Amino acid sequence: MAQDAKYVTLSDANFQQEVIDSKEPVLVDFWATWCGPCRIIAPVIEELAGEYEGRAKIAKLDVDHNQMTPMAYGIRSIPTLLLFKDGQVVDQIIGAVPKRALVDKLDAALSN
């Protein structure tokens, strides 16, 4: 993984601080290395991290190495993306979706 990645790498340990306590909306990508659709949307996630820097936080959580958080949010299939605002889930996207769908949801969270 590139050191200059703009997305935040989440773990069970830092989830509270990085997501729940965040002042800005957070899009969390629940993924795994063996997941084909996760690899398909990975470049989109990285693009969004750059485009929304300073306005929203884009984060990734590897479900194989961090199992408590996905369990707490009932993640059953990946990729699942949860959009958090003020510590609460405000939207959910399951599966690989076009970038436009993610942009629409992020923009909606930013405008509310």
pLDDT of 3: 44
Between 1 and 69, the higher pLDDT residue: 69
Would residue 47 count as lying in a domain?
yes
Separation CA 79–CA 83 (nearest Å): 13
pLDDT of 43: 95
Q: What is the CATH number of the domain that holds 103?
A: 3.40.30.10
pLDDT of 4: 57
Would residue 34 count as lying in a domain?
yes
Would residue 3 count as lying in a domain?
no
Active-site amino acid positions: 35, 38
The conformation of residue 81, written as its DSSP 8-state character, comes to E
Would residue 1 count as lying in a domain?
no
Separation CA 103–CA 97 (nearest Å): 11
Band of residue 5 on the pLDDT scale cut at 50, 70, 90:
low
Would residue 112 count as lying in a domain?
no
Q: pTM for this structure?
A: 0.94
Domain count, the chain: 1
pLDDT of 112: 81
* Helix, strand, coil percentages for the chain (3-state, nearest 5): 35, 25, 40
What residue numbers bound the domain in which 36 lies? 8-107
pLDDT (tens digit per residue) in 14-30: 999 999 999 999 999 99
pLDDT (tens digit per residue) in 9-66: 999 999 999 999 999 999 999 999 999 999 999 999 999 999 999 999 999 999 999 9
Band of residue 2 on the pLDDT scale cut at 50, 70, 90:
very low
Contact assessment for residue 70 and residue 30, using Cβ atoms and an 8 Å cutoff = yes
